[in-house]
Amino acid sequence: MSTQETREQIRIRPATVEDCQQIYDFIMELAVYEKLAHEVVATPAILAETLFGARAYAEVLIAEFAGEAVGYALFFHSYSTFNGRPGIYLEDVYVQPAMRGKGIGKSLMVTLARLALERGCARFEWSVLDWNAPSIAFYRSIGALPMEGWTVQRVTGDALHALAAQAAAGVCNG
């Protein structure tokens, strides 16, 4: 199959609520690859509520090859105070291992970059595990650069509850 024929087999589309089981399956595949499956608590029902419920917290693109779902990208808007404009933050991008090297991941990234520009975003960013050399090489090939001097900080679980329970000066709780 030629490169052109391969490209013609790729379709990127917005996910629908009917895709929640497939999205969940991709999340689990990604979690296994990242050695983090033990951390997944999401379910298809949770995804349906948080992605397609009254308040959608993120959006998903589904990558198809020859009519079959083979990957996804889950993203949401961030905001840059320095730019005074929104950005797109890519939480997950995943293409099934057997389908890599066909341009599917790049098609997802191109689609997201175009969407960022269409929405007036100042940037498109994501995090990557420092041991994931294949992904890092791919990201460099599309022009992504690491954010030197920045590290991700996170409060979750018991620490999140403890922080939220503390008294804060001047906070209105009603």
Active site residues: 139
3-state secondary structure of 91: strand
Q: Which two tokens stand for residue 30?
A: 């990604």
3-state secondary structure of 162: helix
Tell me the Cα Rg of the chain. Answer: 18
DSSP track, 12-67: EEE--GGGHHHHHHHHHHHHHHTT-GGG----HHHHHHHHHSSS---EEEEEEETT
